[in-house]
Structure 1
Amino acid sequence: MNKQRCRILHPGHGEHVTILFNFNLIIFFAFASLLSKSSMSATSKEAAFVRFDAALSNISKKSISFGKSLLSTIEPFDTDDKVKSTGNGIILPMYVYVNNRPVPKAEAVVSVFDHGFLYGDGVYETLRVYDRVVFMLDEHLGRLYRSASLIRLTMPKNFDQIKAALYETLDVNSLENAYVRITISRGHGPIGLDPDLCKEPTFVIIAEDMKDYPQSYYEKGIKTVIAQTKRNLKDALNPQIKSLNFLNNILAKIEAKEKEAYESIMVNASEHIAEGTISNIFFYRDDILCTPSIACGILDGITRRLILDLAVREGLTVREGEFTRNDLFAADEVFLTNTTMEVMPVCKVDAVRYGVGSVAKLLRKVYRDEVRTYVESIKGSGPSLLGI
């Protein structure tokens, strides 16, 4: 890049200062001028500007200020929303997708009369993004639709519309590796349980940088307890519904925190092991990989299902069934699974200790390999409406 030095008189000190003039400024100003005249939405303009701004790492703060002034149609940054740094001094504002568009974090609000807020009436899904690819996206959206169907909630968007909204949210936040939560509530309406009081669902996507779990968790395992709080009866509340009403799990999580553990393992009314507050549980005993069956009243986790398939592929003997806490205490190793933690070893359940075993290490490795293959496959399929 062509550069040249020049000398200017510092306005307040009467002395000459040598500065570096960079022809990147010309490109920068031209881009800002063109963008300000574009028909793009204000949100898209701002996102495009910030990404371009971040790419020019040698631009002075004065030039950045001047460039932004050219974008008269773009809303100013709110310092309370500046949550992500690009690493070169550029701070990116956070956007949340609400109903039909991304909005700055400070404007991402829902009504106090929203039935998701009042009654926990809604569904959600958690997803993980690797290198701008949402892992097992169709499976997650399929489960989201299933949850909505089970509570008689009409989805406000179809598959392709949700995908487009999701990738727009990732794009406007300049995210490559992210945690994503899609939340759909019944919507706002008068106080009362009647679903027909709500005329239109509320649709929200939150996407944030994926903050990896501490490496020590994978190397040494995490502590868990068996909660006194029982898992909801499956005949009372279908566990296949990923509901916004999470109080059952929250009460069990409180127990874990009170005992300085990371996670609680919940049992069902028959005292059979069910699942964690945010995870499915596996244990290895007598050369058999065991996990509670769906009949125990658990969520059929997408990661759980994949781990079962990978275990069979690796030649492990797998058993889904009903297990007691004594079965768990007698295990050689224990681990948890979910979308974000992937395969997480357990070092302690109540007073019983375990080592981080070879089975957990193997399945974590093949899971990561599966993720890598999936991402490469999606990227290798060519351009799409998702912009991958």
Structure 2
Amino acid sequence: MGGAYDDRDGFIWMDGKLVPWRYANVHILSHAMHYASSVFEGERCYDGNIFKGHEHSERLIESGRLLDMPIPYSADQIDAAKAEVLAANNLTNAYVRAVAWRGAGEDMGVAARRNPVRLAVAAWEWGAYYGDAKMQGAKLDIAKWRRPSPDTIPTAAKAAGLYMICTMSKHAAEEKGCSDALFYDYRGYVAEATGANVFFVKDGEVHTPIPDAILNGITRQTVIAMLRDKGLVVHERHILPEELDSFSECWLTGTAAEVTPVGQIGEYHFQVGQITRDVAQSYEALVRA
């Protein structure tokens, strides 16, 4: 499967049934298109099993709740839809995207309580998110935008609207020859990349931002548990930008990114060291266990 994402063979699950890929469309007056009333999940299927798929389904429902957009399916029903999509497309190793949104209905303004909440699930083959950077170490720009305060938007939701500054920041980074961009948050602390959480190593101990203004990624939580099981000390704390020069290693985590080493952030350089390599290898083994 390849080519433009709207012109492929296969099937997408929409509102309870499989639809041929090219006909999985929505109306131009869908509320989500105008007001960003949309939440989603990105998941990976390894050898026929979606890693932590049920947790992703539960988070999708919670994201909808946080946006006052109750999703009319249970986590078990969403799990079943994902399995149906993988089977229909003969996929055992794939990226899975579940998305829920306010559709077109009687309302066409900011309020949309009379519009249906819709759900779709698609899956496709997708390799390393950062390409060769997964082995060599990604190069990150520092974004000019900042992650917003949780007082301004529900930052615990995986909501489409939160990614607008991610798209702009990633475009700017790519224009500079970088793979991605690192955000600071509204207070000036190190936050995350455009679609991944960030970890650092100093003196054999691991440091990662507290998820009080960023998404507490499922992969992030998995990696922290893995590190602690290995006996490594993990500090979840606020990290100042001036500390970047003191760290020896750095990596990103996310469902798409998996565990990706970072070689450079702005003017700061990092080694693809032993802890980073061990985490990447252990994560790869875990998702295929």
Q: Does the alignment pair 1:326 with 2:257?
A: no
1:98 pairs with 2:21:
no
Q: Which of 343, 347, 350 in structure 1 is aligned with 2:263?
A: 347
Which of these residues, 84, 91, 114, is aligned with residue 175 of structure 1? 91
**2: CA distance, partners of 1:162 / 1:222:** 34
Q: Which structure shows the bigger proportion of residues in helix conformation? A: 1
Query: Alignment length, in residue pairs?
Result: 283
- Aligned-pair CA distance for 1:268: 1.1
Stretch deviating more after TM superposition (343-352 or 149-158): 149-158
Distance (whole Å) between structure 1 residues aligned to residue 173 and residue 67 of structure 2: 30
> What letter corresponds to residue 175 of structure 2 in structure 1?
E
Q: Among 167, 171, 175, which residue is 1:258 paired with?
A: 175
Q: Which amino acid aligns with 2:259?
A: V
Query: In structure 2, do the counterparts of structure 1 residues 214 and 283 end up closer, same or farther at CA, with 3 Å as the change threshold?
Result: closer
Counterpart residue number, 2:211: 294
Following the alignment from structure 2 to structure 1, what is the Cα–Cα distance between the partners of residues 129 and 101? 29
Q: What amino acid is aligned across from residue 200 of structure 2 in structure 1?
A: F
Matched, 1:278 2:195: yes
- CA displacement at 1:225 relative to structure 2: 1.3
Give the SS at the match of 1:212.
Answer: coil
Q: C-alpha deviations, 1:115-156, integer Å up to 9, x for none?
A: 111111021111100111111012111211111111121212
The whole-number CA distance in structure 2 between the counterparts of 1:217 and 1:164 is: 34
**2:45 alignment partner in structure 1:** 129
RMSD of aligned alpha carbons: 1.7
Match of 2:144 in 1: 228
Per-residue deviation, 1:81: 8.1
Q: Deviations for 1:356-382, whole angstroms, at most 9, x for unmatched residues?
A: 111111111111222122xxxxxxxxx
Unaligned runs of 5+ in 1: 1-79, 84-92, 374-388
> Which protein is bigger by CA-based radius of gyration?
1
The alpha carbon displacement at 1:330 in A equals: 1.9
1:48-85 Cα shifts (integer Å, max 9, x gaps): xxxxxxxxxxxxxxxxxxxxxxxxxxxxxxxx9885xx
Helix, strand or coil at the partner of 1:228: strand
Q: Which has the higher contact order (CA 8 A, sep 6+)?
A: 2
Structure 1 equivalent of residue 278 of structure 2: 362
Q: Where in structure 2 are the equivalents of 1:12-161 lying within 5 Å? A: 83=8, 93-161=9-77
Tell me which of 313, 317, 321 is aligned to 2:233.
317
Q: Is the 8 A contact 2:63 2:159 kept in 1?
A: yes
- Checking the alignment, whether the CA contact within 8 Å between 2:130 and 2:138 is kept in structure 1 is no
State the TM-score, normalizing by the size of structure 1. Answer: 0.70
Partner SS state of residue 208, structure 2: strand
Contact 2:128 2:134 in 1 (8 A): no
Residues of 2 paired with 1:166 and 1:248: CA distance?
29
Contact preservation (8 Å) 1:122, 1:243 = yes
Matching residue within 118, 134, 141 for 1:202: 118
Task: Tell me the distance in 1 between the aligned counterparts of 2:249 and 2:59.
Answer: 30
* Fraction of identical pairs, as percent: 30
The CA deviation string for residues 297-325 of structure 1, in whole angstroms up to 9 with x for no partner, is 11000000011000011111110101111
Contact 1:335 1:344 in 2 (8 A): yes
